[in-house]
Structure 1
Amino acid sequence: MAGSNSVFGTLNRIDLVTQIVIGLVLGILLGWLAPDAGMGAGLFGSLFVGALKAVAPVLVFILVMSAIARHQKGNEAYIRPIIVLYMLGTFAAAVVAVAASFMFPTSIVLANAGDVSTTPPSGIAEVLKNVLMNLVANPINAVANANYIGILAWALILGAALRNHGSDTTRQVVADLAEAVSTVVKWVIKFAPLGIFGLVASTVAETGFDALLSYAKLLGVLLGSMIFIALVVNPLIVWWKIRRNPYPLVLTCLRESGVYAFFTRSSAANIPVNMALAKKLGLHEDTYSISIPLGATINMAGAAITITVLSMAAAHTLGIQVDFWTAVLLSLVATVGACGASGVAGGSLLLIPMACSLFGISNDISMQVVAVGFIIGVIQDSAETALNSSTDVLFTAAADMGRNRN
């Protein structure tokens, strides 16, 4: 018993990020050296991601409702400037992706699309219609299906009703529920090293490294664009808001949010992590309890890059010349599509046919490009989610710090 307590005591003295790195290294080694055992270890990863996904909708619903119910008049939540940053960052990502695609034109070997069974949206109108339908979804279904647009809408409405008509006792009960759910989230996050160990072990065991080599240049353009946004464009945007060295904040968000998101590959699963980081940074709870789940819905810089780069690669493969104004239109379409389709199964990849239609590329061909996206998704989707999710808390912090500076 004493030995067991000693082990747990040693683990508690190691910070969580270091524990995650240890889990990452062990997962790679297990998946590489013992693939069968690596596949078995994937159960830990599935349980971890499943727990995060299960608690996230309840957390968002309760926290947002509690924040609105307890919100005092004159205590501004400061959401509008954050939305501006979200839109600016997503559009900048699409522009960078277009520029990278012109500088490093990439041809791809089209893959068999037989395994891609989900029907992509036919255009921006359908994407926006899906958003509006999600907005008025049944609240129970919204929580059950992790429909964050619907969850936010109902949390805002019920929170406003409680603020204006609820008793102090009822508001306190909601606040206590929010605290209880936050405690559950802390318990789940403590298992992150074990979960990431299982995720990495199973991924390496299942895919190896060979499948990615044939698409190395395409991955290079994708990852290069995402790294440029994360380490150059986002810091510039943050500096504009806070007027001081942005890199300590940028690197903190990448380390404490991006690492989780990279391995869980789910913006929804990373909402509790971002909430905890926002609290650790001392941000305004009325602000981050709304902006973080909102960012998981509309702040999609990584998705804009994926849509743009793969669409431009399809055009180059087919010998289609893309002029300047078409490239600008592609950036706008990628921005709106990435923001509006975050709840669609398959994420950003299913928006590629819509973007390819700007170049007159048929749906049959564009769905083969989607299949390529699924092949490289082990890396592409991980990096995309890390950029998307870490930027949620980054821009929330920048807006909050910028307000305090004024």
Structure 2
Amino acid sequence: MNLILKLIAGIVAGILVGLYVPLTGVELLYTVKEIIGQLLTFTIPLIILFFIASGIAGLPKGSNHLLGKTVGFAYGSTIIAGTLAFMLVSAIIPLFDGGLTFNAEVATPLSNLINLKIPPLMDVMTALASAFIFGIGISQLQLETLKKVSDQGRDIIDALLAKVIIPALPFYIAGVFAEMTVAGTVFETLQTFGVVLVAALVMHWLWLSVLYISTGVLLKRNPIELIKNMLPAYFTALGTMSSAATIPISLRASKANDVQEDVANFSVPLCATIHLSGSTITIVTCAMAVMFLSPSMDVPSLVDMLPFIMMLGVVMIAAPGAPGGAVMSALGLLTSMLGFNDSAVALMIALYLAQDSFGTACNVTGDGVIALWVDRFSKKAGS
């Protein structure tokens, strides 16, 4: 909640600076935004490299049957959620054509006072391939020293996010909105903000309804009872904005739904790391809205968007535990696969952070469905 308030303050401050501060002062804020953007671009491949490598290397041993089922259900849920979000946005957003607009190509007269370049060590796909090679190798060969290196690298990047980048985001957002104010596009953008956020929240609730109704019917359970037992986890996640911090409540809720204790103890903590269907819905929804409503950006078809959604399900493994971690992991894909520029990225960050607690709550509540299905198939297998 504190971060959301700071985000709102950054938006308001950026608009006020753009409206009332002399151009030199606006350029100072614009320069701060550019420096933060350079640091963010530098950090994205490191997030993917260390978090995915550490996550794969640390997968539990001796539970292959549970691991395969949990990963399969979690990844399938994420992909289906993202695909449905794409289809719904594709049907809804054109109805607002002409009434809403994003301008991701801001024609700004502002100059950067400090021309600082921080090129990343590698591109996103190199980081992703390296993470899988090293993560699988460390896990299979039991290389404890490299495991420690990947874990410590993850901790360094996590600290950088928590102590530097996340606190700097309000200034980054303020710079973007000051730039849009000077360019005269800010109020059109704000009008669109509310519509896109409401659309993302509605899709979260629709997705959870689909999950629990279909699971209840197929497993011959009462859907209302199932989701009622998961409500404490949902509301806890709204407050914590962290799937990991909600694990104790999620475990208790899953066991209340009669999931075997050993299955719940394994699948729920793992899903807190790898199952981010709510975050995927938000990122796909916001990304599609930005592309639909930006005249300079091409709108992809489902065939074009599927590779992005499938890759998104993979890089979500790298989502740090800090608020906004999921969108940080996705930024590399947004720029490399969808062609987002700095302004479009800033809009994505602002939109995502504004609903982060609801996306996390959707992730956590969906974990309860994954646990139910893993439990069902484990019983069938006689485990």
Name the CA shift for 1:249/1:329 in 2 (closer, same or farther; >3 Å).
same
Structure 2 equivalent of residue 308 of structure 1: 284
Contact 1:311 1:356 in 2 (8 A): no
Distance 1:308 1:234 in 2: 22
Distance 1:120 1:303 in 2: 27
1:386 aligns with 2:345: no
Partner of residue 90 from structure 1, selected from 78, 95, 109: 78
% of aligned pairs identical?
A: 19
Structure 1 equivalent of residue 197 of structure 2: 219
Structure 2 equivalent of residue 268 of structure 1: 244
Distance 1:322 1:243 in 2: 39
Distance 2:341 2:350 in 1: 14
Unaligned regions of 5+ residues in structure 1, if any? 1-23, 25-63, 149-210
Structure 2 equivalent of residue 251 of structure 1: 228
Shift in Å, 1:403: 4.4
Structure 1 equivalent of residue 307 of structure 2: 329
Partner of residue 102 from structure 2, selected from 87, 108, 115: 108
Aligned length: 267
Distance 1:269 1:393 in 2: 15
Structure 2 equivalent of residue 295 of structure 1: 271
Distance 1:335 1:144 in 2: 19
Shift in Å, 1:251: 3.3
DSSP 3-state at the match of 1:266: coil
Partner of residue 400 from structure 1, selected from 338, 360, 375: 375
Contact 2:204 2:362 in 1 (8 A): yes
Distance 2:78 2:68 in 1: 16
Partner of residue 80 from structure 1, selected from 65, 68, 76: 68
Distance 2:121 2:288 in 1: 18
Distance 2:204 2:122 in 1: 25
Shift in Å, 1:352: 3.7
Structure 2 equivalent of residue 365 of structure 1: 343
Structure 2 equivalent of residue 123 of structure 1: 124
Q: Deviations over 1:272-297 (max 9, x none)?
A: 22223334444333322221121011
DSSP 3-state at the match of 1:322: coil
1:228 aligns with 2:206: yes
Alignment of 1:5-20 (within 5 A): none
Name the CA shift for 1:107/1:145 in 2 (closer, same or farther; >3 Å).
same
Structural RMSD (CA): 4.2
Distance 1:302 1:121 in 2: 29
Name the CA shift for 1:322/1:260 in 2 (closer, same or farther; >3 Å).
same
Name the CA shift for 1:388/1:138 in 2 (closer, same or farther; >3 Å).
same
1:341 aligns with 2:318: yes
Shift in Å, 1:344: 7.2
Contact 1:95 1:331 in 2 (8 A): yes
Distance 2:264 2:258 in 1: 10
Distance 1:120 1:213 in 2: 38
1:137 aligns with 2:147: yes
TM normalised by structure 2 equals 0.57
Shift in Å, 1:85: 1.5
Contact 1:279 1:285 in 2 (8 A): yes
Distance 1:251 1:295 in 2: 20
Contact 2:233 2:365 in 1 (8 A): yes
* Counterpart residue identity of residue 398, structure 1: W
Contact 2:85 2:203 in 1 (8 A): yes
Name the CA shift for 1:370/1:140 in 2 (closer, same or farther; >3 Å).
closer
Name the CA shift for 1:233/1:120 in 2 (closer, same or farther; >3 Å).
farther
